[in-house]
Structure 1
Amino acid sequence: MVQSVQRAVQILRELSTSGPRLGVTELADRLGVAKPTVHALLRTLEGEGLVVQDRESAKYQLGPALVGLGNAYLDTQELRTRSLTWADLLATRAGEAVWVGVLTGDHVLVVHHAFRPEGAVQILEVGASIPWSTCALGKAVAAFAPEAERRRLLAGDLAVLTGASITDAAVLNSQLEQVRGTGYALEDQESALGDAGIAAPVFGRSGEVVGAIGVVGPVERLLAESARQDIAVAVRETARNLSRDLGAPRGGARGAGV
C-alpha cells in the first residue's frame, strides 16, 4: 500500500464517522501520525475539494467533490441501474418503500431507494450505511456469501442499534441458515425501533451474490401475519427477476430460487 494514500483515506473516514468537523490535532491523535503530516494531507485534500476548512473554527470537514464521486459510483453501479424498474414495481406491489443494497466491509450501502406509493413526505436513504447484522438486506447477502466471507462477518463486531439487535453470532448464524432455506431474510426492529424489513439476495452473472433488494416499513404492517408471506413472495420474485436481468445463471444458489 502507498502509505500517504492510506492515511488520506483514513482522514476521510474519520471525518465521515467522527465529524462533522475535526482539527489537525484531533486527526493526528486518531491516526497516530505527526501534525505536520496530517496538515500536509489536509491541504492536498482541500485542493482537490475532498475536504474544506471551516473559517471560524479552522477545523476540517468533508468537501463537495465527494458528492460527485459518490454519484459517479452510483451511476456505474450495475445492480442499482438494473434495479430501478424492479424496485418501483415491488414498491407498488407491496405498498411500501424498497431499498437495494450492497455489502461494503461490514455495512450495507443503500444504492437505490424507491419510495412507497403513497404521497406522504419521505426521506431519501440512498447512501445510508447500515451494519449488516441489523438489517434484512445484510442478512440476505451474508446468507449466500462465500463461506469465508460469512465467517468473517460473524466473527466481527456485531452492532447494537436497538435492544432487538442480535449480538450472538450463533443466533445470527442460525438465522442465516434459515435464510438459505427460505430465500429471504427478516429484520424486526433491529436497526430502528418500529421498523422492519424483508429482503432477498440478488445474484450476478457469475452466480455469486452481488447485493439484495427488500421492502422496509413499519413493523406492524410488514410482519403482520396477514401481510408477511405475501410481501416475502413478492420480494423473492423481484430478486429472482433482477438476478436474471443481471445475467445470473438459472438454478442459482440453493433456496434463492434464481
Structure 2
Amino acid sequence: MSATSGAGVGTVQSVHRAVRVLEVLAHEGECGVTQVAAELGVHKSTAFRLLAALEAGDLVEQSAERGKYRLGVGILRLAGATTARLDVVQEARPLARELARQLEETVNIAVLHDGAALYLDQLAGASVLPSHNWVGQRIPLHATSNGKVLLSGLSAEQIRQVVGGRLRAYTPTTVTNVRQLLKEVEQVRVDGYAVVVDELEVGLTAVAAPLHNAHGDVIASLSVSGPSFRFDPGSIDVAVDRLVATAQEVSSRLGWRDRTA
C-alpha cells in the first residue's frame, strides 16, 4: 500500500469516528473524553483530538461543566439547511402535483448544490411517454432551465465561480460561452422564467421559474419538462403562464411577497 492510499484510509477512519462521536453525544446528551473513548474503543488522546476538531467546527461544545461535551450550534445550522429544503418540497408538492396534472408533463423541484442543480422531487404527468426519474441526481447548471433559474439568484462573479471557465457541450445548442450564459441568466431575471430547448438532450424541452423565500432569495427552481415535439410555441406559453403562477404561489407559502406587483 502506498503512503497516499494509507493516508486516505486513515482519513476515512477519522471521518467514521467523528460521525460516531456525534451519534454518541446525540444519544447520551453529554459525555466526557473518557466515555467517548470507551464508546469508540480508542485511546483518550484520539477521542480528545476528534472532539477538538468537531468543536472547532461548532459541531460540539463544552458544557458549563468543563470536560463534558455536547452537540453544538453547528448541528442546528446544518439541520436548518436540511429543514429549509424539506419545507420547500412540502409546500411545493401539492401545487406541483396539480401543475403536472394540468399540463400532463413532468414537474421537478431543484436546488443549487455543489456547482450543480440537485433534483429534490418529481411529479409525473399523465403523458404517454414515461419520464426519466431525476430525483437525487445532479445536472449541469448551464444546460438546463432549472440551472439557469438557480444561477439567476447569484451575481455575475458568483456565476463565474460556480460554473468555471469551460462549459461542456451536451448538444449542438448547448451554451458553452460564459458571457452568453450571463446574458441568458440576466434575461431570466427580467422574464421571471427560463426556457431551454434541446440543450441538455436533443428532444427535451423544459421551462423553469424561481422559488423565493421570505427574503426574496432564489432558494429553488420549479420546472416543467417533456419531449420537444409536445412543446410548440403555444404549449410553451401555456406552460410558462401556469408554471410562473404556481411558483409564485409556492413562494408566497414560503413567506415571499412580490413587491413588484
Deviations 1:147-170 (A, max 9, x none): 542343465432322222111112
**Does the CA-based 8 Å contact 1:96-1:117 persist in structure 2?**
yes
- Work out the CA distance in 2 between the residues paired with 1:249 and 1:76: 19
Using the aligned pairs only, state the percent identity: 22
- Work out the CA distance in 1 between the residues paired with 2:143 and 2:105: 19
Deviations 1:50-79 (A, max 9, x none): xxxxxxxxxxxxxxxxxxxxxx95896221
- Work out the CA distance in 2 between the residues paired with 1:154 and 1:36: 33
The answer on 1:234 being equivalent to 2:204 is no
The answer on 1:221 being equivalent to 2:230 is yes
1:241 maps to a residue whose letter is: E
- Work out the CA distance in 2 between the residues paired with 1:204 and 1:73: 15
The answer on 1:38 being equivalent to 2:8 is yes
Give the direction of change, closer, same or farther, for the CA distance of 1:89–1:249 in structure 2 (3 Å limit): same
Q: 2:117 aligns with which of 108, 119, 132?
A: 108
SS at match of 1:247: coil
The answer on 1:203 being equivalent to 2:212 is yes
Where structure 2 has 5 or more consecutive residues not aligned to the other structure, the ranges are 21-80
Deviations 1:11-65 (A, max 9, x none): xxxxxxxxxxxxx87xxxxxxx71211223445668989xxxxxxxxxxxxxxxx
Moved more, 193-202 or 150-159: 150-159
Deviations 1:69-99 (A, max 9, x none): xxx9589622112111111011112110001
Q: 1:181 aligns with which of 176, 190, 193?
A: 190
Offset, 1:187: 1.1
- Work out the CA distance in 2 between the residues paired with 1:74 and 1:167: 35
Instruction: Name 1:248's counterpart in structure 2.
Output: 256
**Does the CA-based 8 Å contact 1:99-1:214 persist in structure 2?**
yes
Give the direction of change, closer, same or farther, for the CA distance of 1:170–1:148 in structure 2 (3 Å limit): closer
Larger radius of gyration: 2
Offset, 1:195: 0.6
Instruction: Name 1:163's counterpart in structure 2.
Output: 172
Offset, 1:141: 1.7
What is the TM-score normalised by the length of structure 2?
A: 0.68
**Does the CA-based 8 Å contact 2:119-2:137 persist in structure 1?**
yes
SS at match of 1:248: coil
Give the direction of change, closer, same or farther, for the CA distance of 1:214–1:165 in structure 2 (3 Å limit): same
**Does the CA-based 8 Å contact 1:75-1:81 persist in structure 2?**
no
- Work out the CA distance in 2 between the residues paired with 1:197 and 1:76: 22
- Work out the CA distance in 2 between the residues paired with 1:219 and 1:122: 13
Offset, 1:122: 4.0
- Work out the CA distance in 2 between the residues paired with 1:218 and 1:113: 16
Offset, 1:109: 0.2
* Within-5 A mapping of 1:14-25: none
Give the direction of change, closer, same or farther, for the CA distance of 1:121–1:215 in structure 2 (3 Å limit): closer
Two-structure CA RMSD over aligned residues (Å): 2.7
Give the direction of change, closer, same or farther, for the CA distance of 1:140–1:155 in structure 2 (3 Å limit): same
Q: Across the two proteins, how many residue pairs are aligned to each other?
A: 200
Give the direction of change, closer, same or farther, for the CA distance of 1:127–1:209 in structure 2 (3 Å limit): same
**Does the CA-based 8 Å contact 1:113-1:124 persist in structure 2?**
yes
Q: 1:190 aligns with which of 189, 199, 218?
A: 199
- Work out the CA distance in 2 between the residues paired with 1:199 and 1:77: 20
1:128 maps to a residue whose letter is: Q
Deviations 1:100-143 (A, max 9, x none): 10011320000010011247544422111001001000111212
